[in-house]
């Protein structure tokens, strides 16, 4: 099972988190969706994005009956030589679940793999833990959707933003 997570902020101290579960990166639709509003989000601190995102992801993970084999997060696994959200999540899960980070903008100093999708001239930046970077990149490349952002990742973003409902 694969889980994709995204978090959106509703003001300074409230977050809305979403997760989609699917069985294959080529799936056109998710098997299940989870959403949760979370008051008391941590304040934004540059370079410590995980402090806001991790509690939201962990809350949703508790709702998922069987832990996923792989997790996709919106962001970086590694920020150069520092752990990002994905690495901190991977470590929190004791390295038992592979984590793939998908970022839309480049982080200077990161060794992300660039994945071009659709007709976009802008890549997605892929980082990973528990899975090699080439395999992680191929998984994201093969996801459904004609655009830069795969359909399921766009959907989890829209769910977190409350633009679409479960």
Q: Is residue 141 part of a domain?
A: yes
- Give how many domains the chain has, as a whole number: 1
The CATH code of the domain that includes 114 is 3.30.2170.10
166 within domain boundaries:
no
Residue 115 lies in a domain: yes
Domain that holds residue 104: 2-161
- Is 101 inside any structural domain? yes
Say yes or no to pLDDT of 44 above 70.
no
What pLDDT score was predicted for residue 48? 58
Six-digit token string for 62? 């508790």
The stretch 62-86 carries a mean pLDDT of 93
Structural domain includes residue 32: yes
pLDDT exceeds cutoff 70 at 111: yes
Residue 88 lies in a domain: yes
145: in domain: yes
Whether the predicted model's global pTM rises above the 0.75 cut? yes
Residue 140 lies in a domain: yes
Q: How far apart are CA 117 and CA 140, in angstroms?
A: 9
Task: Identify the bridge partners of residue 20 per DSSP, sorted by sequence position.
Answer: 4, 33
- Helix-strand-coil percent breakdown of the chain, rounded to 5? 25, 30, 45
Distance CA 159, CA 166 (A): 7
φ and ψ at residue 152, rounded to 5 degrees: -70, -35
pLDDT of 43 strictly over 80: no
């Amino acid at each position: 099972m694969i889980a994709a997570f995204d978090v959106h902020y509703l003001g300074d101290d409230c977050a809305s988190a979403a997760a989609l579960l699917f069985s294959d990166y080529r799936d056109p639709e998710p098997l299940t969706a989870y959403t949760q509003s979370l008051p008391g989000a941590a304040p934004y601190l540059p370079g410590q994005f995980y402090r806001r995102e991790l509690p939201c992801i962990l809350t949703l993970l508790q709702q998922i009956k069987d832990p996923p084999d792989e997790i996709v997060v919106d962001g970086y696994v590694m920020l150069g030589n520092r752990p990002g959200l994905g690495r901190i999540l991977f470590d929190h899960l004791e390295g038992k679940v592979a984590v793939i980070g998908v970022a839309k903008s480049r982080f200077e100093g990161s060794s992300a793999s660039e994945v071009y999708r659709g007709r976009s001239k802008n890549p997605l930046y892929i980082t990973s833990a528990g899975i090699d970077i080439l395999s992680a990149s191929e998984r994201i490349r093969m996801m459904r959707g004609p655009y830069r952002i795969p359909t399921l990742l766009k959907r989890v973003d829209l769910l977190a933003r409350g633009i679409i409902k479960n």
